[in-house]
């Protein structure tokens, strides 16, 4: 059964997985290129690399989110009737879908590892940081899985509930920017975000130190 | 031989809305075919499954029809092999033909009565039609 | 008699009104049970309740001897379902949909599935979203049948399909039923179709089962009787008078239920005479039954 679900989920997700793989491969390379340019101009190489840390965080979250939404899209179209009439317990079915999508994350993760290793070996990085690509990949994997699981749970509900939750998030983000643009002095947004992403906590994987050094 | 064909012209236009139950309509058609010599002793009847599917009727209806024919000694079911036409003697077939003819006439007379056509008018019409056929 | 589907005092509410109330349904094993009723009677809701897609507000449901919705996993393994509206994943091809369905059903009949693919003329590599309405209907039926179910639940399976497809689909259903001792619960508007294939009939109206009996009894049970010099008072008639109308000049036409030939005596003693007794076909019987249920004649 798991194989059958994985095969059908792959059909919906493969385009996205391809994009995610390309993206995951591209970020280290892109960061390397900009860093080399910066060094040529006399700036700090490692500092330039470090400034890309946000990209990894966003990429992991984005990949997790979109894979989760794709996972449930065929069911949403038919209002889950097909899955609910299959002779399998609901929780088992949900777990199989979750597992299938989690498997797909392996592709961009592998691409990231390869790309990061290439970058790490092709530049003069201190010996102590040579293991960095692995650490980066692990963090990326965890972040992607967390985002995936979180949004998977959200979209497992009806499309309506998922839409509501995502709208709330979008409104929150928009409100943050508007407040900043209107020069409204409030620490509400910062405090909320700090609270959500506080350590210890699952979501803390997105913030914090992606790069082992700070510039 | 009906086993291998896909259509059953004999059973076309069965009328589920008629007051005559479907199984009786089917049984009558087979009975008439036997009486007319179209179906001979030893000929296989279509399997219940095949006939029910092709006619799109309940298999129990076909079973009922075959059972009715069997209790009239017109067919015999051989376990595992299907249902076959029994060896029916000429007198029996003639009797069935006569019974069928009478049934047709009964229907005709009933219809005529409803329309107010008299018995002599019917008889004249019958003669007229029969003469017409003879001259063809 | 063993029942494959049984409901006892089933109730379901969506909103403030009880959509289904005190529903008692019994589908005998091996029957082809026609589920009739006007639009909005609650047929689809009842079917969804039977399959565990909805939770009842009250009452009990037993399918294949097991309580629903608690035993839904094992019951659904033995039940084939064709819903009113297509429920398959639109991005899959025909072949992929078949493989997916097969992976979940232990009793899957692979040769029968292949035979149906060619019999139904389904293109294996075409996406479900690109299939015509008829092809989708045939595919859903294929999936339900190749499962080799003990119970087939069909919710308007031929609705909106052209006559050729309808024929193909019904042929396959009856073929299956003859070869395996399965029970079929089929809900349909197409009364004439049901008339051919069903040996049991259940009529539902306004959330209640108003008649449930063998098809023959139902059809034989309602009769149209032409009476001359009809008695004015029919209060003590041995049958149920559903309706009466006068035929200009030639007497009256009575619609009765529960008629038996011996009941002619009722008319004889009243000085009337019975000219004709006609069976109603299923559609007329159904319409009359509904009419009498919704606005019963006052008992004089």
Question: Could you read off the pLDDT of C44-97 as tens digits, one per residue?
Answer: 999 999 999 999 999 999 999 999 999 999 999 999 999 999 999 999 999 999
- Say if the ipTM goes beyond 0.90: no
C181 touching chain B per CB within 8 A: no
Same domain membership, residue B117 and residue B56: no
Q: How many whole angstroms separate alpha carbon B98 and alpha carbon A34?
A: 105
Chain C nearest-CA residue for A93: C104
Regarding whether B47 and B24 lie in a shared domain, the answer is: yes
CB-based contact C195 B16, cutoff 8 Å: yes
Q: What is the pLDDT of residues C240-295, one digit of tens each?
A: 887 788 877 778 888 887 788 888 888 888 888 888 888 777 888 888 778 777 77
Least confident of A185-189, C184-188, C251-255: A185-189
Residue B103 CA, distance from chain mean position: 11
B56 touches chain C (CB under 8 A): yes
The predicted pLDDT at position B27 comes to 92
Pairwise CB contact (< 8 Å): C196 & B52: no
CA–CA distance, C227 with C239 (Å, rounded to integer): 15
pLDDT band at C219 (very low <50, low <70, confident <90, very high): confident
The per-residue pLDDT for range C132-173, each reduced to its tens digit, is: 999 999 999 999 999 999 999 999 998 888 989 999 999 999
pLDDT attached to residue A211 = 64
- List the one residue out of C110, C112, C117 whose CA is nearest residue C94: C117
Rounded CA-CA distance C197/B14 in Å is 13
- The verdict on B120 and B59 lying in the same domain is no
**Do B107 and B77 belong together in one domain?**
no
B79 with B14, same domain: the answer is yes
Among C52, C76, C89, beta carbon nearest to A8:
C89
Domain boundaries, chain C: 3-206, 221-294
Per CB-CB distance under 8 Å, the chain C contacts of B55 are 196
Provide CATH code, domain C3-206. Answer: 3.40.50.300
B49 falls within a domain: yes
* Same domain flag for B80 and B100: no
Token representation of residue C226: 């032409």
B80 and B24 share one domain = yes
Give the DSSP letter string of A54-111. HHHHHHHHHHHHHHHHHHHHHHHHTTTHHHHTSSS-HHHHHHHHHHHHHHHTHHHHHH
Examine the pLDDT at A50 and tell me if it is beyond 90.
no
On whether any CB of chain C is under 8 Å from the CB of A4, the answer is yes
Is the per-residue pLDDT at B3 higher than 50?
Answer: no
Is the Cβ–Cβ distance between C281 and B17 less than 8 Å? yes
Of A19, A124, A6, the C-alpha closest to A62 is: A19
The tens digit of pLDDT for each residue in B15-58 reads 887 767 889 899 989 988 888 888 888 888 999 988 998 888 99
> Structural domain of residue B111, as residue ranges?
91-135
Give the total number of structural domains in chain B.
Answer: 2
- Whether residues B57 and B35 fall in one domain: yes
B55 and B36 together in one domain: yes
CA distance C34 to chain B (A): 11
Q: Find the residue in A nearest to C49 (Cα).
A: A85
- Domain borders along chain A are 2-205
CATH number at residue B58: 1.10.10.10
Q: Could you tell me which residues of chain C have a Cβ less than 8 Å from any Cβ in chain A?
A: 51-53, 73-77, 81, 83, 86-92, 96, 99-100, 102-105
What class does CATH assign to C221-294? alpha beta
Candidates B19, B53, B58; nearest CB to C171: B53
């Amino acid at each position: 059964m798991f194989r059958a679900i994985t095969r059908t989920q792959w059909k919906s997700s493969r385009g996205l997985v391809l994009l995610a793989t390309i993206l995951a491969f591209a970020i280290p390379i892109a960061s390397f290129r900009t860093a080399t340019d910066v060094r040529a101009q006399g700036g700090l190489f490692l500092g330039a690399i470090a400034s890309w840390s946000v990209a990894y965080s966003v990429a992991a979250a984005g990949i997790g989110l979109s894979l989760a939404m794709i996972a449930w899209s065929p069911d949403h179209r038919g209002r889950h009737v097909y899955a609910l009439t299959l002779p399998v317990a609901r929780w088992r079915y949900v777990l199989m879908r979750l597992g299938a999508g989690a498997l797909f994350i392996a592709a961009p993760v592998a691409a990231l590892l390869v790309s990061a290793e290439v970058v790490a070996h092709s530049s003069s990085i201190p010996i102590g940081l040579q293991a960095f690509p692995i650490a980066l990949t692990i963090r990326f994997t965890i972040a992607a899985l967390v985002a995936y699981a979180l949004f998977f749970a959200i979209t497992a509900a009806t499309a309506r509930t998922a839409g509501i939750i995502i709208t709330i998030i979008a409104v929150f983000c928009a409100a943050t920017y508007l407040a900043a643009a209107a020069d409204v002095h409030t620490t509400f947004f910062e405090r909320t975000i700090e609270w959500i992403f506080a350590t210890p906590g699952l979501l803390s994987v997105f913030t914090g130190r992606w790069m082992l050094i700070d510039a | 031989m009906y086993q291998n064909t896909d259509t059953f012209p004999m059973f076309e236009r069965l009328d589920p809305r008629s007051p005559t139950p479907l199984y009786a309509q089917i049984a009558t058609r087979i009975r008439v075919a036997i009486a007319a010599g179209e179906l001979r002793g030893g000929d296989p009847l279509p399997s219940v499954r095949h006939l029910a599917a092709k006619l799109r009727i309940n298999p129990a209806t076909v079973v009922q029809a075959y059972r009715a024919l069997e209790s009239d000694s017109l067919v015999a079911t051989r376990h595992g092999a299907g249902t076959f036409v029994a060896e029916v003697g000429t007198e029996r077939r003639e009797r069935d033909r006569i019974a069928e003819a009478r049934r047709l006439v009964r229907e005709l007379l009933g219809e005529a009565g409803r329309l107010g056509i008299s018995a002599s008018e019917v008889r004249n019409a019958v003669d007229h039609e029969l003469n017409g056929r003879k001259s063809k | 008699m063993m029942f494959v589907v049984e409901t006892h005092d089933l109730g379901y509410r969506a909103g403030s009104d009880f959509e289904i109330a005190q529903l008692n349904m019994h589908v005998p094993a091996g029957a082809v049970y026609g589920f009739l009723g006007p639009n909005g009677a609650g047929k689809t809701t009842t079917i969804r309740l039977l399959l565990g897609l909805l939770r009842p507000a009250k009452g009990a449901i037993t399918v294949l001897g097991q309580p629903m919705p608690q035993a839904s996993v094992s019951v659904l393994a033995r039940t084939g379902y064709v819903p009113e509206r297509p429920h398959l994943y639109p991005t899959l091809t025909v072949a992929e949909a078949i493989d997916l369905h097969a992976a979940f059903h232990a009793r899957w009949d692979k040769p029968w599935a292949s035979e149906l693919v060619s019999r139904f003329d389904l293109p294996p590599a075409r996406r479900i979203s690109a299939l015509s309405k008829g092809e989708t209907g045939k595919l859903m039926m294929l999936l339900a049948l190749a499962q080799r179910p003990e119970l087939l639940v069909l919710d308007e399976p031929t609705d909106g399909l052209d006559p050729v497809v309808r024929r193909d689909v019904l042929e396959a259903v009856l073929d299956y039923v003859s070869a395996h001792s399965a029970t079929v619960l089929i809900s349909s508007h197409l009364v004439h179709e049901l008339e051919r294939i069903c040996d049991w009939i259940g009529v539902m109206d306004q959330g209640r089962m108003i008649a449930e009996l063998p098809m023959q009894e139902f059809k034989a049970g309602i009769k149209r009787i032409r009476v001359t010099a009809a008695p004015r008072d029919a209060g003590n008639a041995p049958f149920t008078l559903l309706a009466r109308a006068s035929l200009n000049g030639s007497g009256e036409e009575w619609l009765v239920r529960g008629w038996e030939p011996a009941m002619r005596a009722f008319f004889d003693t009243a000085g009337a005479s019975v000219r004709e007794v006609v069976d109603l076909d299923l559609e007329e019987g159904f319409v009359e039954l509904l009419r009498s249920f919704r606005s019963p004649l006052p008992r004089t």
